[in-house]
Amino acid sequence: MPPPPDPRSDHELIAALNAGDAAAFDAIYYRYRDRILRLAYRFTANHADAQDVLQETFSYLYRKFPGFRLTASMTTFLYPVVRNLSLEIHRKKRTATTTNLDAVADLPGFDAGDQIDQTRADLAAAMSNLSPEHRQTVLLRFVDDLTMEEIAAAMAVPVGTVKSRLHHAIAALREDPRIRRYFAP
């Protein structure tokens, strides 16, 4: 059972952890657990693999203590970790990492027992047509609510590249006939 949210900021929790307060890790963990798991699931499209990535990500994080300094936001720090660990699992398992229709069918709400929502299935199909970089940019922006600067830091690319990718990704979605209705005036 997760504890109540800790009112301290990430930097305050990190300072407490650097001072040896192990309980502060619980607060960091529950603050970012779901986000990391969701992100890992997006990369791996597999619940068990996503849980492995979750464990490895936090192992990577706690091994940085004491002496860890957070220079960006925690999300932008964790994103490349999750991505690289997911790719590592992908290399080991030789399975598809990009979200495709099969993977989307595994998402909660799309399992065999549910009536697949055609609208969202079309959206998933349109998203799967984007390049991995464009798709991740769109997802970081509109699903994870990251700013352009945070996306740039997370993906280790200039802000201009993020804007360009976003622009092209949205243009491609706009042109996709399966989801054109979203853009109808």
Partner 1 sequence: MPQDPAQLDDLPDPLAEDMRQLYRADIQPSPAVDQAILNRARAHIAGRKRTLLLLRVAGAAAAVVLVTAALLPSLHSARRSARSPVARQVQASDINADGAVDIRDALALQRAIDAGRAAATHGDITGDGVIDKRDVDAIAMSAVRLDRGMPR
Note whether 55 and 85 are within 8 A (CB).
Answer: no
Query: Least distance from C-beta 143 to partner 1, angstroms?
Result: 5
Tell me if 124 contacts partner 1 by CB under 8 A. yes
Helix (H, G, I), strand (E, B) or coil at 2: coil
* Selection from 88, 91, 66, 64 nearest residue 77 by Cα: 64
Please name the residues in contact with 37: beta carbons below 8 A apart, sequence gap of 6 or more: 50, 51, 53, 54
Q: Which of 10, 38, 116, 178 binds partner 1 (CB under 8 A)?
A: 38
Query: Least distance from C-beta 116 to partner 1, angstroms?
Result: 11
Residues 131-160 that bind partner 1 (CB under 8 A): 138-139, 142-143
Of residues 124 and 146, the one with the C-beta less far from partner 1: 124
Please name the residues in contact with 130: beta carbons below 8 A apart, sequence gap of 6 or more: 138, 169, 172, 173
Rounded Cα distance, 183 and 185, in Å: 6
Quote the DSSP letter at residue 177: G
Note whether 35 and 29 are within 8 A (CB).
Answer: no
Where does this chain touch partner 1 (CB under 8 A) — which range of 5-13, 84-92, 118-126, 150-158?
A: 118-126
Tell me if 82 contacts partner 1 by CB under 8 A. no
Residues 40-59 that bind partner 1 (CB under 8 A): 41-42, 47, 50-51, 54-55, 58-59
By the criterion CB under 8 A, which residues form the site for partner 1? Answer: 17, 20-22, 25-26, 29, 33-34, 37-38, 41-42, 47, 50-51, 54-55, 58-59, 62-63, 65-66, 99, 104, 107-109, 119-120, 123-124, 127, 138-139, 142-143, 163, 166-167, 170-171, 173, 179, 182-183
